[in-house]
Amino acid sequence: MFDHVIVPIDGSEHAAMALGPAVGLARAFGATLVLLRALYPDDVDAAQEELRALALSSGADDTDVVLDTVNGPVGALTDAAGARPGALVCMTTHGRGGLGRALFGSVAEEALREVGGPFVLVGPNCDPAVAVPGTVVVPLDGSRRSESILPLVAEWARRFGVGIWIVSVVDPAEAERAVARGDDLAEDAYVQRVAGSMPGGLPSVDWDVLRSADPAQAITEFAASRGFSTIAVATHGRTGLARVAVGSVATRIVHDHAGLTLVVRTAEVDAS
């Protein structure tokens, strides 16, 4: 499924938090763990020694160290992923933000936009002991964009032998207004239909409708209450004012989830 798991390392304890999950993923995939650092040429010798020691202590079966003295962090990651088609990127994000700003952190945001491939993001509230892999929660909103991650999730679940929970979130107040208009809600029909359309041979596929005015909170609390380690989301990753406007629900999930968030930036597709 993935031949390489790339982990950007910048020498900080925060960035190194992604190493544990990355090692677990690399083992599960039988993939090479790639430790990547962007740095100045004068720092190469020390960084080479540090990353090789880190690779040795990680316990990964196969490791590679990549030092990039030409690009910044995002450029280094883009080049490393480009040289390894189909690689999975596993990285931390500080998750700072407020007043409606994206919570991914500038490097993770831009990398997601530029690299485009699957990312596993380790947010600031991630439990270092999170199980890899584990049951995957897939929140859908009825759009083709949100559903575009389903083939990857199916392959992920089949490879790891884990279950899938497909969920949607309904705002109770909006539901009441719809009933007052005489609309036929059929709240369960959508997720039940999607769950039923998943390919055969998967360990399990379940579904649920969550009722909350706060979708991100409902999704993270659902995962936490059941001990599900992975939430998988597709995001549009549109740009604006030189920043990535990753969907607000996705950013909150990455920030609040105690496990891992599998994120894929989708191409612009019809939201209907």
Average pLDDT over residues 227-234: 93
pTM of the model: 0.87
> 214-252 b/e with 16+ CB inside 10 Å = b?
ebbbbbbebbeeeebbbbbbbbbbeeeeeebbbbebbbb
Question: Which residue, 49, 48, 68, 102, is CA-closest to 250?
Answer: 102
For residue 133, whether the previous peptide bond is cis, meaning omega lies within 30 degrees of 0, is: yes
What is the reported pLDDT for 250? 82
Q: What average pLDDT score do residues 234-263 get?
A: 69
128 against 1, higher pLDDT: 1
Rounded to a whole number, what is the distance in angstroms from the first to the last CA of the chain?
30
19 occurs within a structural domain: no
- Rg of the chain over Cα atoms, rounded to whole angstroms, equals 19
In this model, does residue 266 exceed pLDDT 80? Answer: no
Is 141 a domain residue?
A: yes
Separation of alpha carbons 116 and 160, rounded Å: 23
| Strand-pair partners of 239 | 244
51 contacts 68 by C-beta, under 8 angstroms: no
Is residue 250 situated within a structural domain? yes
Task: Examine residue 117 and state whether it is found in any structural domain, yes or no.
Answer: no
Tens-place pLDDT, residues 94-120: 654 433 333 345 677 788 878 877 999
Give me the CATH number covering residue 181: 3.40.50.620
Which pLDDT does position 97 carry in this prediction? 41
| Number of compact structural domains in the chain | 1
SS3 category, 107: helix
CA angle 254, 69, 108 (to 5 degrees): 10
In the chain, the percentage of residues whose pLDDT exceeds 90 is 42
67 lies in a domain?
no
Report yes or no on 43 lying in a domain.
no
- The pLDDT assigned to 241 comes to 30
Question: Does some domain include residue 122?
Answer: no
Has residue 55 been placed in a domain? no
Q: Which residues of 35-50 are buried (b: 16+ CB within 10 A; e: fewer)?
A: bbbbbeeeeeeebeeb
Residue numbers of the domain that contains 201: 127-261
Q: Quick: pLDDT tens for 124-176.
A: 888 877 767 789 999 998 888 889 999 999 999 998 999 999 999 988 777 66
What is the amino acid identity at position 186? A
* Cα-Cα-Cα-Cα dihedral sign, residues 241, 244, 248, 251: negative
